């Protein structure tokens, strides 16, 4: 059993993050979820909370505050941090070290060397964009593990690289990372 912190950003692939949270709990892991504010417009944090039996939040401010400094507590708690799906925007924020939301703040607060997995999901033109590729390369250089998106048909009806891999494949990668 491991403590897995799931970061979720506002992608059409967010339904797979719900499934992932549920499957990881079924495997015996503890799963807490941080959604970006936009992700919380696509799917209510309440669903992640129901699937995981653990808090699912977008912020460490106001009513959502769990303790004194949630970004530090969550970063210390996590044995694995996984951002799935990771949007182009969130990838850009992480690559720039921005801490404007809880997901970004926790990413900076993780202890050096703590395992972290990035699972991009976006339209193929977005994924191929040099800015996105630069940001991903910079995150890999910073120590992020990368789960490459699959090629196929996306929710936007375009075909190409950018589809979030199947949940079973993400689970497999998580098993490898947890050793």
Ligand X SMILES: Cc1cc2nc3c(=O)[nH]c(=O)nc-3n(C[C@H](O)[C@H](O)[C@H](O)COP(=O)(O)O)c2cc1C
User: Taking CB under 6 A as the rule, does residue 39 contact ligand X?
Assistant: yes
User: Taking CB under 6 A as the rule, does residue 167 contact ligand X?
Assistant: no
Bridge partners (DSSP) of residue 117 are 82, 145
Handedness of CA 106, 88, 21, 54 (dihedral sign): positive
Residue 58 burial (C-beta neighbours within 10 Å; 0-12, 13-18, 19+): buried
User: Taking CB under 6 A as the rule, does residue 11 contact ligand X?
Assistant: yes
User: Taking CB under 6 A as the rule, does residue 36 contact ligand X?
Assistant: yes
We find the least distance from the C-beta atom of residue 1 to ligand X, in angstroms, to be 29
Please state, in angstroms and rounded to a whole number, the distance separating the CA atoms of residues 111 and 108: 8
Please state, in angstroms and rounded to a whole number, the distance separating the CA atoms of residues 153 and 104: 29
Instruction: Scan residues 111-140 and list those touching ligand X (CB under 6 A).
Output: 121-122, 126
R_g (Cα) of the chain, nearest Å = 15
User: Taking CB under 6 A as the rule, does residue 6 contact ligand X?
Assistant: no
Query: With contact defined as beta carbons under 8 Å apart, do 83 and 103 qualify?
Result: yes
Among residues 3, 18, 119, 156, the one annotated as catalytic is 156
- Whichever of 22 and 89 has its CB closer to ligand X, that residue is 89
Please state, in angstroms and rounded to a whole number, the distance separating the CA atoms of residues 174 and 162: 20
119 is known as an active-site residue: no
Contacting ligand X (CB under 6 A), which of 2, 33, 59, 90?
A: 90
User: Taking CB under 6 A as the rule, does residue 13 contact ligand X?
Assistant: yes
We find the least distance from the C-beta atom of residue 175 to ligand X, in angstroms, to be 25
User: Taking CB under 6 A as the rule, does residue 88 contact ligand X?
Assistant: yes
Active site (catalytic) residues: 156
- Residues lying near ligand X in the complex (CB under 6 A) are found at 9-13, 36, 38-39, 87-90, 121-122, 126
């Amino acid at each position: 059993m491991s403590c897995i912190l799931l970061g979720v950003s506002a992608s059409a692939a967010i339904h797979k993050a719900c499934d992932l949270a549920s499957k990881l709990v079924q495997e015996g892991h503890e799963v807490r979820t941080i959604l970006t504010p936009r992700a919380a417009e696509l799917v209510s944090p309440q669903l992640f909370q129901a699937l995981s039996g653990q808090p699912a939040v977008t912020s460490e401010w106001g009513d959502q505050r769990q303790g004194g400094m949630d970004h530090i507590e969550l970063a210390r708690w996590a044995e694995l941090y996984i951002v799935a799906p990771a949007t182009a925007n969130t990838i850009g924020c992480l690559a720039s070290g921005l801490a404007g939301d809880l997901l970004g703040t926790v990413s900076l607060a993780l202890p050096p060397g703590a395992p972290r997995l990035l699972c991009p999901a976006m339209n193929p033109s977005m994924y191929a964009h040099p800015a996105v590729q630069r940001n991903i390369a910079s995150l890999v250089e910073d120590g992020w593990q990368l789960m490459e998106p699959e090629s196929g048909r996306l929710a936007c009806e375009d075909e190409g690289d950018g589809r979030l891999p199947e949940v079973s494949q993400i689970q497999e990668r998580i098993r490898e990372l947890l050793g």
